[in-house]
Amino acid sequence: MQKAFGHVTAASGFRAAGICCGIKANVRDLALLVSETRAAAAGTFTTNSFCAAPVILSRARLRSGGARAIIVNSGCANAATGDAGMRDAELITRDVARMLSIDRAEVLAASTGRIGRRLPVKKILSGLSTLVGRLSVEGGRDAARAILTTDTCPKEALTRRVIGRREITVGGMAKGAGMIHPMMATMLAFITTDAAITPGCLKELLRESVEKSFNRISVDGDRSTNDSVFVLASGLAGNPVIERGDSKAGRLFSSALDEITATLAEKIVRDGEGASKLIEIVVSGARDRREATRLGFAIANSPLFKTAMYGEEPNWGRILSALGGAGVALRPERVRVVLQGECVFRRGAPAGADERALRTRMGMAHIKVEIVLDRGRAEERILTCDLTPDYVELNKR
């Protein structure tokens, strides 16, 4: 586990760097990730109507199924910047391509930061030669630092599998966001692997993996202006090319990818803005997964619930209120609510939980809410965090 070097460069064939180019004051704000070979590449992006210029650019370039590099900046989202913003992104990726002697169509881009402001293109372009000069296997950690915004620590993940007698590595880095509501804050993730896999299969497995991980935390990867998840596969592990997700090799690779996305998603929640607790909400017995997800997010996104969790109050009425207001016609007598292992509501009435014991357990750093319905067999798990005064202080600027 090459912890010291950063996990995004752990798979064979990847180098990275992260520098301070002056978008922000005195912190790393520009990262570059490069694949030695033309990597099979896939991405999932926000569905926000005002998606950022780098999202438009990367989505278009990924149609080829291949890429060599991703340039990432923090401190400015390059969103709501119109044609000028598109030109800025094109200019930067063109210079990256020129310096790396690759095709500009093989350079992807991602940005995060304030919306509605132009990128400081000059600063970025003048930083590029330093950035390219620092590219190395050891540079992964610097890259993981350069993509952060209000995150308090870099977020990385690494795992390995043996596929066709070859060891393959999957690693990644991510940046988190405000945790209070989906749709609102930018989440970026970059995953690399040396597995050999077709672009089509990679795209399919990424989509499924993101649905189970980043789309089940209370930062909806689908909705901010800049949310992006990228995966690059160099193929250098030398395994037989994975062509189908439902093959044995496909399932192995998929399990590794899922491990990385789940780990990064959980790290994002744990480092939610101002967060003091990780909150896990499991909805079971739902009619279908969509219903389970909707109910879980109704609780996860309730400020009153999140604030009670911050206060370590076993105020489960707020769970019920959020659940009952989610637009699903529930019959109270067929809903069971379990908080920290203690059944608090069943058969339409309080279950007579030991409130003192419960209150003690509310002090734990991990809060678990279980909603047991009697409508079907679907189950979903949503992760979120509490709402604290620090969240407000962090976001008032």
By CB under 8 A, the residues from 45 to 104 that bind its own copies are 46-51, 77, 79-85
Q: What is the spatial distance between Cα 351 and Cα 365, in angstroms, rounded to a whole number?
A: 24
Q: What are phi and psi of 262, to 5 degrees?
A: -65, -40
396 interacts with its own copies by CB under 8 A: yes
Least distance in angstroms from the C-beta of 191 to its own copies: 24
Nearer to its own copies by C-beta: 148 or 298?
298
Residues with Cβ within 8 Å of 348's Cβ and at least 6 positions away in sequence, in order, are 332, 333, 335
Q: SS3 of 347, please?
A: coil
Give the closest residue to 55 by CA, choosing from 86, 25, 31: 86
Which stretch of DSSP H or E encloses residue 37? strand 30-45
Least distance in angstroms from the C-beta of 136 to its own copies: 35
Nearer to its own copies by C-beta: 200 or 324?
324
- Amino acid (1-letter code) at residue 215: N
Q: What is the spatial distance between Cα 115 and Cα 93, in angstroms, rounded to a whole number?
A: 20
Least distance in angstroms from the C-beta of 285 to its own copies: 15
Q: What is the spatial distance between Cα 155 and Cα 263, in angstroms, rounded to a whole number?
A: 9
Nearer to its own copies by C-beta: 220 or 258?
220
Q: What is the spatial distance between Cα 44 and Cα 230, in angstroms, rounded to a whole number?
A: 7
Which stretch of DSSP H or E encloses residue 338? strand 336-339
Instruction: Name the segment binding its own copies (CB under 8 A); options: 43-51, 155-163, 207-215, 249-257.
Output: 43-51
Half-sphere exposure of 258 (CA within 13 A, CB side): 14
Q: Which of residues 334-363 bind its own copies (CB under 8 A)?
A: 344-345, 347-350
**Interface with its own copies: number of residues (CB under 8 A):** 72
193 catalytic per annotation: no
Least distance in angstroms from the C-beta of 227 to its own copies: 10
Q: Which of residues 111-150 bind its own copies (CB under 8 A)?
A: 114-117
Nearer to its own copies by C-beta: 96 or 319?
319
Residues with Cβ within 8 Å of 305's Cβ and at least 6 positions away in sequence, in order, are 299, 318, 319, 322
Contact pattern from residue 260 through residue 299 relative to its own copies, giving x for each residue in contact according to CB under 8 A and a dash for the rest:
--------------------------------------x-
Selected catalytic residue, list 9, 44, 186, 192? 186
Least distance in angstroms from the C-beta of 124 to its own copies: 19
The residue from 58, 149, 340, 388 that contacts its own copies (CB under 8 A) is: 388
Active site residues: 186
